[in-house]
Amino acid sequence: MMNGRVKRPLGDLFGLQSFGVNHVTLSAGATSALFHRHSVQDECILVLSGEVTLVHDAGETLLAAGMFVGFPKNGSAHQLINRSGTEATYIEIGDRQAGDGVSYPRDDLVAVRAENGCAFTHKDGAPY
Bridge partner residues of 120 (DSSP): 111
pTM of the model: 0.89
pLDDT value at residue 6 = 97
Q: How far is Cα 43 from Cα 17, in angstroms, rounded to an integer?
A: 15
Residue 114: what are its φ and ψ, rounded to 5°? -125, 170
Cβ neighbours for 122, distance < 8 A, ≥ 6 positions apart: 108, 109, 110, 128
Which domains are assigned to the chain? 5-97 (2.60.120.10)
Cβ neighbours for 118, distance < 8 A, ≥ 6 positions apart: 102, 111, 112
Q: DSSP label at 1?
A: -
The string of pLDDT tens digits covering residues 70-99 is 999 999 999 999 999 999 999 999 998 888
Residue 50 C-alpha from the chain's centroid: 17
